Structures are given as C-alpha cells and as structure tokens.
Amino acid sequence: MIAVPSSAQRCIDSFNGRILFMPSSYSRDTASFPAVGRSPWEPATPGLNLVTYYLLVLFSLTGLSTVLGRTVVLDARDVPADSSGEQLQCELASAGKPSLVVEQIVLDYLVAPGSNRVAAHGVRLLRRFEYNFKMAGVNVVMLHFISVAPDGTPSVDAAGRDILHLVEVYETTWRQWNTWMLHPATLVGLAAAAAATTGLLGARLPDTSP
C-alpha cells in the first residue's frame, strides 16, 4: 500500500470532485454538510499532494503496518452499477464495525450546489475499500462515487472526465490520533495509495504515460 510517486500523484489528480475524511463520530447535521460552502471534513486543495502522502506513511504507521504484514484488506472491489436500496445501504457501512458508515446527508453534500463542482443530479457508488491497519490501530472504510445526471449517465468536468468523489470514514483505537495524526489534510495519501495499488482506478483516469 506504499505507492511510488507517479502512482500516488496519478490517484491524487483523479479526484476532481469532493474529498471527505471523517472520524466515525462525525456530526450528521447541516452545519457539517452545508448546502453552500465547504464541510469541515473536506480538506483544502493545498493538502492534496505527494508530501501529504509520504508524511502519512511515515507518521501514521499505516505503511509500516502493511510492510510488516499487519494490515488486513477486508474489501477492495468495484461495486455493481445497479446497487440500490438495502444492498446499497450495506455497501455504505462496515459489516464488522457498524459505526463506520456513510449517511445520506453525506451523499447529498457531494452534489450540493455552491462550490466549483459540476452540477449533478446524484451520485453512484463506484468502488469500495475497507482496511484494518492493526499496527496503527486504524479501521477505514473508503468509498469512491461518481456524479450522475438524471438519466444515470456520468457527469463530466471540462476535460471530459467523470466527476470522482472520495469519502473515507475512519476509527482509531489510539484516541490521541483523532486530534492531529489523522487530520483530513494527512489522510489523502492513504486514499491515493489504496486506490493506486488495487488496480481499480479504471474510470476515465487521465493518461499519464510518457
């Protein structure tokens, strides 16, 4: 799960929608997910870079956990496009840790107006990842969504790429990590590394080959 710089950068660049990193205790209210403006769980753009990723690997112990064989990949797959209803609700939460769940208010925020994102009717769950970093004491559910039009077709940006969102919910066994070690600005690398090494980022990613 430690990506080389080119792979990590490619994944970071692919997320052209909203990016949310939240503890499992995140507030389920409109103040946290406003119709206009930025959620406190959405990092500022300058936080999304290679330095962020490698600082995370160095200080969070997630990289060391993986190298030493102490990381359990519980899920890493594409989600069927026709997932809905009860099946979709199961995809949005961890079966083993019900506190790791993405609520409807989060999905609504992904397509809320008032930002520089392309307008969309809704979102569709594209990929699902779940990890237990045993050495780091971190459990993670990470979901990739694309924005869709009323007819279900993907919404695209000015470059013709699908609008790709990232939502991650985490829970730690080390209480102090919730305050600074797992701040949103340091978590994007984890998402990039996970996406890069699973080989599942196949939806209209930019071609970065020479």
Asked if pLDDT for residue 192 goes beyond 70, the answer is no
For position 210, what pLDDT does the model report?
38
Give the separation between CA 123 and CA 68, rounded to whole angstroms. Answer: 37
The helix (run of H) or strand (run of E) holding residue 133 is strand 122-133
For position 103, what pLDDT does the model report?
95
Q: With contact defined as beta carbons under 8 Å apart, do 19 and 98 qualify?
A: no
**115-165 pLDDT per residue, tens:** 545 566 889 999 999 998 887 788 999 999 999 988 889 988 888 999 999
Asked if pLDDT for residue 89 goes beyond 70, the answer is yes
For position 144, what pLDDT does the model report?
95
| C-alpha closest to that of 145 among 15, 47, 40 | 15
Among the residue ranges 46-50, 69-73, 171-175, the one predicted with the least confidence is 46-50
Give the rounded percent of residues in the chain with a pLDDT score beyond 70. 65
The domain segmentation of the chain, as residue ranges, is 5-198
Give the separation between CA 53 and CA 25, rounded to whole angstroms. Answer: 24
